Amino acid sequence: MADDTARTTALETDIVSRTAEDSDVPEEELRDALELLDADLKGRHSEFEHNTYVTVEERRAYAIDPEEWDSLFEPYDLDGSVENAARRAHERQAEALFVAGEGDSDSLGDASGVVAGIDTAEQFD
């Protein structure tokens, strides 16, 4: 994985930039949405651990049911295009982490990807 020292979420900055550009969403708006999600996701690992996951570089990518994404956005009043871009950024990062961790780009299958940062204690739960 790339050295990404400017990263403030579990997603690499180049993935965020590319997704903002592809989605025609202002990058700063996407970053803000991702930071909101990131703060929330750090405490929700136990909700996703029943799913397939991989841990790479203090980040965990989960393959979740696509419908679970709706509940992730419920606490926030985000524009639909920003929600779609945030979801796509997470899916791109999850794909990259599954490739790095398992060498398999098809690990998500029909699932959606969600990525959360972890700390050392969470790795041993």
Tell me if 54 sits within 8 A of 60, measured CB to CB.
yes
In a domain, 8, yes or no: no
Q: φ, ψ for residue 117 (rounded to 5)?
A: -75, 150
Residue 84 forms part of a structural domain = yes
The side-by-side arrangement of strands in the sheet containing 52-56 is 52-56, 59-64, 112-117
> 3 in a domain, yes or no?
no
pLDDT in tens, 37-90: 998 898 888 889 888 999 998 999 999 999 888 888 888 889 999 999 999 999
Task: Please check whether residue 5 lies inside any domain of the structure.
Answer: no
Q: Which domain holds residue 67?
A: 13-123
Domain presence at residue 4: no
The answer to the question of residue 30 being in a domain is yes
How crowded is residue 84: how many other Cβ atoms within 10 Å of its Cβ? 15
Higher pLDDT, 23 or 121: 23
Read off the pLDDT of residues 1-13 as tens digits, 9 standing for 90 and up. Answer: 454 434 579 999 9
Residue 119, domain member (yes or no): yes
Structurally, the chain folds into a number of domains equal to 1
Question: What pTM was estimated for this model as a whole?
Answer: 0.86
Percent of the chain with pLDDT strictly greater than 70:
88
- β-partners of residue 42 are none
Residue 40 lies in a domain: yes
Enumerate residues 6+ apart whose C-beta is below 8 A from 17: 27
Q: Burial of 33 by CB count in 10 Å (0-12 exposed, 13-18 middle, 19+ buried)?
A: buried
Instruction: For residue 72, give the nearest of 57, 62, 60, 87 by alpha carbon.
Output: 87
